[in-house]
Amino acid sequence: MSDIRVKICGLTRIEDVIAVAEAGAAYAGFVFFAKSPRAVSVSKARALAIEAPLGLAKVALVVDASDAYLDEITGEVPLDLLQLHGKETPERVTEIKQRYGLPVMKAVGISEAADVEQLDVYGKVADQLLVDAKPPKDAILPGGNGLAFDWRLISARRWPVPWMLAGGLTPQTVAEAIAVTGVRQVDVSSGVESAPGVKDAAKIRAFVAAARSGRGAVPRL
């Protein structure tokens, strides 16, 4: 299962970025959302991205960001992918793709079957999809809440672009998530932390290893 690609999001320290690369993850995510305990400034993200080992794809997570803020981020930080985690419309996704010339991944929150339809809509305009748990109505954060959703809602579903699964994944659950959904990319943040914004290298290694051996897991259906 070495073809499973892992994204570790919410990185705030260079030692964590290095640990992500050494574990064999494919993506490193930086959060540009002030309300998040994992938020980084543009200057901090630039320093982390510049020092990141070669081959690690650098992702900027933004939430309903203005053009001015995106101009600042993309002008300062060497990036490979923009992750839109707010209420961006399909039209806004297209605008951002055209303006910045970077691949765009759109996050879609799932809690019930009706939510899955939005993946078909955004799959027509985004370069990738992030299938995440829909946050509670009173949640401050649009993601990174450590919540999972019923993976059976998307079991055997496919879209015209690559997609990634997020939402409450841990080293203990990621193999089952892969077995149930057939996903080829997984995203984790709080599930590999010792504290908000502080990653645990051992948990990162365990998560990547579990993801790559995932198909051997027996799903609980």
pLDDT number for residue 102: 98
| Cβ atoms 69, 62 nearer than 8 A | yes
Residue 115 among the catalytic residues = no
Q: What is the pTM of this model?
A: 0.91
pLDDT number for residue 121: 96
Torsion of CA 220, 186, 48, 24, to 10 degrees: 90
Q: Which amino acid is at 33?
A: F
Mention every residue, 6+ apart, whose C-beta is less than 8 A from residue 117: none
Dig out the tokens for 63 from the structure: 């939430």
pLDDT digits (tens, 9 = 90+) for 75-103: 999 999 999 999 999 999 999 999 999 99
Residues of the chain with pLDDT under 70: 1-2, 136-147, 214-221
Residue 187 among the catalytic residues = no
For the beta carbon of residue 193, count every other beta carbon within 10 angstroms: 21
Residue ranges per domain, the chain?
Answer: 5-216
Q: Distance between CA 109 and CA 132 in Å, rounded? A: 5
| Cβ atoms 213, 201 nearer than 8 A | no
Q: Distance between CA 221 and CA 218 in Å, rounded? A: 9
pLDDT number for residue 135: 73
pLDDT digits (tens, 9 = 90+) for 24-47: 999 999 999 999 999 999 999 999
Q: Class assignment of domain 5-216?
A: alpha beta
Catalytic pick from 132, 138, 150, 200? Answer: 132
Alpha-carbon distances of 119 from 90, 125, 162, 164, rounded to whole Å: 11, 10, 11, 12
Catalytic pick from 3, 9, 64, 200? Answer: 9
pLDDT number for residue 141: 54
Mention every residue, 6+ apart, whose C-beta is less than 8 A from residue 221: 152, 180
- What is the 8-class DSSP label of residue 195? E
Q: Is 30 helix (H, G, I), strand (E, B) or coil?
A: strand
Q: Distance between CA 161 and CA 122 in Å, rounded? A: 10
pLDDT number for residue 220: 40
Q: Distance between CA 67 and CA 105 in Å, rounded? A: 17
Q: Distance between CA 33 and CA 115 in Å, rounded? A: 24
